[in-house]
Structure 1
Amino acid sequence: MGPGKRSLLPGRRGVLAAAVTVVCAVTVLAVPGVAFANSGSIAAPASRPGTAAQLPPSPSPSASTASPTPPPDKDLEAVRVKLDELYHDAAVATDAYNAAEEKSRKQSAEIDELNKRIAKGQARLDELQDRMGAAARAQYRSGGLPPEAHLLLSDNPENFLDGARRVMEGQRATRGLLSELTRTQQDLEQYTEDASARLEQLEANRKAKDAARRKIKKRIAAAEKLESRLEKAQKKRLAELEEEAALRAQTAWLGTGILDELGGTASGQGRKAVAFATAQLGKPYVWGAEGPDTFDCSGLTSQAWASAGHPIPRTSQEQWKRLKHVAIEDMRPGDLVIYFHDASHVGMYVGHGTIVHAPRPGRTVTITGAGTMPILGVVRPDAGAHE
């Protein structure tokens, strides 16, 4: 029996039992996929919520006779898997929050631009209306007589013809004013309609952000409550189990011989991105954060590439959707490794089979094995750059 097992004295089993009770009591959304990262300590790629969290089957009668009390690690493993599920849910909600935040920023900027256009259009409309009013008053002062009457009443036909030309020019100008007035009115109506639509979208995104924020806080609070039920020795053993799970996953990944195929050299911008990301080691994970003192997973990768002069999408899901996909065996430092079936986590490959990433709440930016989480794929922000 290892040191961690010896530390779980009979009196502490009650504490652990309470923690496992919390595991069973915590209600989580049914999010398919695999459990989220724990400071690089992730279940092996085969682990999935709904399957990995299940306790092993009850031992046979003969086994029960030989070992009537289940090993403490069995209960702690259930706690570890449940924590992974809770933090995975929080990661998914964080991506939803970040996406809504990005949309809100864009829509706010569009609304500001539309408001400027509306103000400019209204000023132009007022000017045109003043000019139309002046033209109408001038026509009124002339008595509104037709050109033939002015010709008969004129003492100088040449002056009349010259005046007639000016009148015709004025009429053309008036028609031009009317056309511009109409276009300006139509533009104002369209700008106002567009601004109204953007405001509706902004409100919808505000509600989406609020819903995501509530979900994040709920999942993190449930995870913290679960961890708080453990005693110091149990927390230490839980951390060991996390590291063991990560090591198993990384060893299995490296066992495929993938490291022998990895040999890409970083581009110039890739080296800058890696330098930025690794300079953040030790900084806390905070959901929705983009630095400079705290980061979430995609906040770290997006800011790293922005610092290299190559902006990329804000969220891990958008990074997966919009950046160029490359084969895992072709990845090079600076590439982004996307994790889980729902692209809810991302790290930056830094070479030698490792990534730098911001794992989850309660952890800091760290370097871990690239294979410690189930890899969805790899994307390259600067796909056109040479090594």
Structure 2
Amino acid sequence: MAVPTGSAGAEPKPTLAQAKKKLDKLNEQADQVVEKYNQASEKWKRARKKYQTLNADLTRQSERVAGLRKELVTMAVSSYQFGAVGGLENLVSQADPGALLSGLATADQMSATRAQSLNAFDEATKELRDSRDKAKQALDEADQTRDELAGEKAKAEKMIKAQKKLLRELGAYNPGDPNSAGIQYNGPASGNARAALEFAFAQIGKPYQYGGTGPGGWDCSGLVQAAWRSGGVSLPRTTWEQWSWGAARKVSLNELQAGDLIFSEGLGHVGMYTGDGRVVHAPQTGDVVKVVPLSGYGRRLVGAVRP
């Protein structure tokens, strides 16, 4: 039988080793993509909060200006009805010198009050314009970061889709259980580190979910943030921010203690040292929160932070 010219046979199916190597590369890339997504998400939240705060200030300032405007209108009407001319004629017609002096003092006081009200109105109006400008700028920033977030989300979803496809081909996809009760922590930690690890161990078996902050799914930085929050320590949301937050708290990888945060090269991934040469973490798409030997962590380490 003749083979048609120019035809090509199907590409050979990759070996198990090749597929796993490809998955490792995908996981490393996904760490970075998800981290950028989380950074964009946090930036969007901050921009939105800034706008909401400024917009609330703008509302209060608008109410103040409206109140001052009403006060000025009332004063204007009063001046028209009991104006300076009529008021002066009434004053000078007073037979009692004491009453005349008292009336003049009252007129001066009214004039000073009117001037203060006008100044307050002018200042409040200026502040209102400034508040409007700041709120508009904050809204523009929020819109820009929303677009940035959408772009990073699209990249992350594309990467997640590739990971899931390859994992299913390898028969290694684990959807996890969002309602998993986890397992009990029996390691050497104490104090707030123990509280953090007990929380993390209670999440074991729940699925990795990019951008996940619980309770049914977690990404790596979301898990350690929530775990240490239960231990009374407030960590930033993303791995880069957590690493920066711990700049003065870094410890040697040779001196790890239970509860320490362990960061991979590139700062795309973080886990928690459990003690006894193990780490608990939310690995990647298609896997679940679990405990693994530090020697089999599968990522090049860059350092550790002790909260």
TM range (shorter): 0.7 to 0.9
C-alpha separation in 1, matches of 2:114 and 2:66: 15
User: Aligned residue for 1:364?
Assistant: 288
C-alpha separation in 2, matches of 1:149 and 1:106: 62
C-alpha separation in 1, matches of 2:157 and 2:82: 76
Whether 1:91 aligns to 2:31 is yes
User: 5 Å matches for 1:5-24?
Assistant: 17-20=11-14
Whether 1:336 aligns to 2:261 is yes
How far apart are residue 303 of structure 1 and its match? 0.6
* SS class of match (1:368): strand
User: Aligned residue for 1:259?
Assistant: none
How far apart are residue 103 of structure 1 and its match? 2.5
How far apart are residue 226 of structure 1 and its match? 3.7
* SS class of match (2:85): coil
User: Aligned residue for 1:158?
Assistant: 98
Whether 1:144 aligns to 2:67 is no
How far apart are residue 188 of structure 1 and its match? 1.5
Task: Could you tell me which runs of 5 or more consecutive residues in structure 1 were left unpaired when the two chains were aligned.
Answer: 1-13, 21-74, 240-264, 382-387
Q: Give the one of 285, 301, 307 matched to 1:375.
A: 301
4+ residue runs over 6 A deviation: none
| Greater displacement, 160-169 / 140-149 | 140-149
Whether 1:286 aligns to 2:209 is yes
* SS class of match (2:305): strand
How far apart are residue 146 of structure 1 and its match? 9.1
Q: Give the one of 219, 232, 243 matched to 2:159.
A: 219
How far apart are residue 327 of structure 1 and its match? 1.7
C-alpha separation in 2, matches of 1:92 and 1:273: 25
C-alpha separation in 2, matches of 1:345 and 1:378: 12
User: Aligned residue for 1:310?
Assistant: 233
Q: 1:227-264, CA deviations, whole angstroms, 9 ceiling, x for partnerless residues?
A: 45x4xxxx37x99xxxxxxxxxxxxxxxxxxxxxxxxx
C-alpha separation in 2, matches of 1:335 and 1:210: 33
How far apart are residue 105 of structure 1 and its match? 2.4
- Name the CA shift for 1:337/1:197 in 2 (closer, same or farther; >3 Å): same
C-alpha separation in 2, matches of 1:143 and 1:295: 72
Q: 1:180-226, CA deviations, whole angstroms, 9 ceiling, x for partnerless residues?
A: 21221122122212211221121122112111111111112223334
User: Aligned residue for 2:274?
Assistant: 350
Contact kept, 8 Å, 1:278 with 1:356, in 2: the verdict is yes
User: 5 Å matches for 1:109-148?
Assistant: 109-145=49-85
User: Aligned residue for 1:77?
Assistant: 17
User: Aligned residue for 2:109?
Assistant: 169
C-alpha separation in 1, matches of 2:287 and 2:228: 22
Q: 1:89-112, CA deviations, whole angstroms, 9 ceiling, x for partnerless residues?
A: 222121122222222223323322
Q: TM-score, normalised by structure 2?
A: 0.84
C-alpha separation in 1, matches of 2:207 and 2:12: 29
C-alpha separation in 1, matches of 2:30 and 2:197: 26
Question: Superposition RMSD on alpha carbons, in Å?
Answer: 2.5
Contact kept, 8 Å, 2:37 with 2:153, in 1: the verdict is yes
Q: 1:136-157, CA deviations, whole angstroms, 9 ceiling, x for partnerless residues?
A: 2222223432987665443333
Residue identity (%): 31
By relative contact order (CA 8 Å, sep 6+), the higher-ranking structure is 1
* SS class of match (1:270): helix
Contact kept, 8 Å, 1:87 with 1:220, in 2: the verdict is no
- Length, aligned pairs only: 282
Amino acid at match of 1:118: L
C-alpha separation in 2, matches of 1:146 and 1:266: 86
User: 5 Å matches for 1:165-314?
Assistant: 165-228=105-168, 230=169, 235=170, 266-314=189-237
Contact kept, 8 Å, 1:124 with 1:184, in 2: the verdict is yes
Q: Give the one of 319, 334, 340 matched to 2:242.
A: 319
Amino acid at match of 1:290: T
C-alpha separation in 2, matches of 1:98 and 1:215: 12
How far apart are residue 348 of structure 1 and its match? 0.3
C-alpha separation in 2, matches of 1:153 and 1:204: 69
C-alpha separation in 1, matches of 2:244 and 2:280: 21
Contact kept, 8 Å, 1:19 with 1:227, in 2: the verdict is no
Q: TM-score, normalised by structure 1?
A: 0.67
